[in-house]
A = this chain, B = another copy of it.
Amino acid sequence: MSLLAIGTVAFDAIESPFGKTDKIIGGACTFISLAASYFTKPINIVAVVGDDFPQEYIQLLQNQGVDTEGLQVKAGEKSFFWSGKYHNDMNTRDTLVTELNVLADFDPIIPESYQNCEYLMLGNLTPQVQMTVLDRLKKRPKLVVLDTMNFWMNVAMDDLKKVIQRIDVLSINDEEARQLSGEYSLRKAAKIIMAMGPSTLIIKKGEHGALLFQGEEIFFAPALPLEEVFDPTGAGDTFAGGFIGYLAATNDTSFENMKRAIIYGSALASFCVEKFGTERLLGLSKEEVDARVQEFVKLSGFTV
């Protein structure tokens, strides 16, 4: 079924104990789209870049099945740029540069051909833009998934609370779940957050896996213990993209299918961190993804 993803398409520059990149393609919408493209095509996107964004990067997205009709290219403006440096443990990072550029006044225009989307991924962006996208869709999608971060809780909590009233699935990390709910226990936090609107909550715990909550149901997906985490940039977005891509491809939003979707999202995220930026996601075969999913089956399977 048709999938629409909103978020940043941008430049990243990354430093880690393993090396350093120049400006490379990054952004939430980029990782979401590349991950989702393993399951369904086309991926429709609504995003904005400046005219400094190389045609080859747009081509790269198109080659993976991304429809770029909704990608605005702003003449005379510069693309969003983020630069960060990971510490030795790869779990903490410092932001070195954030240049909003075209993002500062992003008006998400939805092409007419995207109007009937069934699956909507509201990637990490200002809650006001996420809300505008919901307002501009004439028909409510079958499933709306929203990803956000602590930054928006700090600067736009009211807007964020308004938009999450209108979504189905919220995807945040454990610290964000604690911040949003005011509860340390994730089980209590989940109840409070689901009472704010979303019927389903995903709590991402990075190297510790992810929890999926819906009503009284809880599912835990492990993360694959990796020999090396090379670059965690985009892992959360890749996870979300794999999740909604799998749901859109199977067109089944049951809790049982969401469990599978979480595992597929985790599998794609486990590839993402193996190289810098989007590198490992490009050219990944269906066989590699399926084999990785089987590693998750083996990792967590037991009988009593």
Binding site for B on A (CB under 8 A): 88-90, 184-188, 190, 205, 208-209, 211, 218-222, 225-229, 256, 259-260, 263, 293-294, 297-300, 302-304
Q: Bound state CA distance, A70 and B89, in angstroms?
A: 45
| Highest count of chain B CB atoms <10 Å: which of A226, A228, A304 | A304
With A88-B184, A184-B88, A229-B185 already in contact, the answer to whether A299 and B260 are too (CB < 8 A) is: no
Given contacts A220-B299, A225-B186, A228-B185, contact A263 B304 (CB under 8 A): yes
In angstroms, Cα B24 to Cα A143, docked, is 53
Complex CA–CA separation, A108 to B260 (angstroms): 51
Q: Specify the chain B residue showing the minimal Cβ separation from A264.
A: B304
> Does B187 lie within 8 Å of A225, measured CB to CB?
yes
- State the CA gap A297–B303 with chains docked (Å): 8
Q: Which 9 A-B pairs have the closest CB atoms?
A: A208-B208, A220-B222, A259-B302, A187-B225, A300-B300, A220-B299, A187-B227, A186-B225, A220-B300
A185-B302 contact, Cβ under 8 Å, with A208-B205, A208-B209, A209-B208: no
Q: How far is the CB of A6 from chain B (nearest CB, A)?
A: 28
A293 adjacent to B304 (CB under 8 Å): yes
